[in-house]
Amino acid sequence: MARHTRNAAGSGELLRGGGVRTVHPARRPRPYRCIRGISGIAVEAGARGRRSVLAAGRRHSAAVRRDGTVAAVGDGRAGECDVDHWTDVLAVAAGNVHTATNTGRSHTVGLRSDGTVLATGWNGDHQCDVGAWHDVTAVAAGWRRTLGLLANGSVLATGRITEGACDVQDWREIVAISCGDWHSVGLRGDGTALAVGNNRRGQSALESWHGLTAIAAGAVHTVGLRSDGRVIATGAWSSRATGVDQWRDVVALDAGSYHTVAVQASGRVLAAGDNSHGQCDVEAWTDIVAVAAGSAHTLGLRADGTVVSTGNSADGRRDVASWSGLRRPGTDHPGSD
């Protein structure tokens, strides 16, 4: 069982095992454009790198505290919960994959305030080889791979290359990234989207999308948040995770393996898709400022820095009731919340 922990600095190269790290010349970032906020938190469209302070993986969960340390619970047999020594962290990502007998091991990624990256957990495809990365503004983790968004709008990738989900070396003017099981998606500063990797269920068919402010990838579906608060989706319909066309007033969203969750401006939460473990039972949640969707569980960050959860509780992945003092989205420095 491969197990790995690293911190970071950076350049570009083809990694052994197939991962790709590519750095492109700096480009002028687009101006920030504020849209509606969650419980008083401004959401910026055009800001380079939206940072996730809450993450749900296959069998574990992670979150960033206000002091820059990280909390993690769940199955840590591959080292994915070995984050106790992490400091100065702004954002986290958890490698997620659909629930199956041949899936389970995962990894966790952390973005530090100096633009370097930390990773721990399963490293069988070099998904934790982020030791050379720097000038990173956002991170995303999927099945056996990691993406890093650079300040110049280009993207780094390391990990499994079989499906082409690491083929991001030509991406430009990117402001947000997300990883599904076998595909990767990016949001451009002009509100359009692009994708690489598996497209068998149409999960990468994003060419016509525009006016977006956020994007998220599930196992075989992709969802996008439009500037008018509506949500669009593409990909497999069998789980009903793409059943979001009636959603309104949405300000943030995430995609689990086979379900989709979203935060409304009121702090209430919407969910669609597979609910076999209760992962969509979010109707009673209030005062939520961020959500994270894993393989079969869902997390919600309250404005007071505590967390609610629903769905599969196996392996302790939902042991988050004691968490407090977590960072709210939109804060740029440890302790600034």
Question: What value does the mean pLDDT of the chain take?
Answer: 88
Q: Give me the pLDDT at residue 38, please.
A: 42
Q: How far apart are the first and last CA of the chain?
A: 38
Q: Which of 323, 276, 324, 328 is nearest to 297 (CA)?
A: 276
Alpha-carbon 243 to chain mean position:
20
The per-residue pLDDT for 333 is 66
Q: What is the pLDDT of residue 170?
A: 98
Q: Which residue has the tokens 């091991």?
A: 105
Burial call 71-98: b when 16+ CB within 10 Å, e when fewer:
bbbbbbbbbbbbbeebebbbbbbbbbbb
Structure tokens at 235: 């990909």
Go through the domains of the chain in sequence order and give each one's CATH number.
Answer: 4-314 (2.130.10.30)
CA distance 323 to 36: 27
The DSSP annotation for 106-134 comes to -EEEEEETTS-EEEEE--TTSTT--TT--
Residues in contact with 62: Cβ distance below 8 Å, sequence separation at least 6, in sequence order: 54, 55, 70, 71, 72, 81, 83, 92, 94, 108
Model confidence pTM above 0.85: yes
- Dmax of the chain from CA atoms? 48
pLDDT tens for 9-65 read 443 444 434 444 433 333 333 332 333 344 333 333 344 667 899 999 999 999 999
Burial label for 333, CB within 10 Å (0-12, 13-18, 19+), is exposed
4 or 300: whose pLDDT is higher?
300
pLDDT the model gives residue 36? 38
User: In angstroms, rounded to a whole number, what is the distance separating the alpha carbons of residues 252 and 43?
Assistant: 9
CA torsion angle 57 89 65 226 (round to 10): -60
pLDDT digits (tens, 9 = 90+) for 140-194: 999 999 999 999 999 999 999 999 999 999 999 999 999 999 999 999 999 999 9
Residue 332's pLDDT is what? Answer: 62
* DSSP H or E run through 147: strand 145-150
pLDDT of residue 97: 86
Nearest alpha carbon to residue 158 among 198, 112, 109: 109
**99 vs 268: CA distance, rounded Å:** 27
Q: What type of residue sits at position 293? A: A
Question: Does the pLDDT at position 96 exceed 70?
Answer: yes
Is residue 80 a contact partner of residue 58, using CB atoms and an 8 Å limit?
no
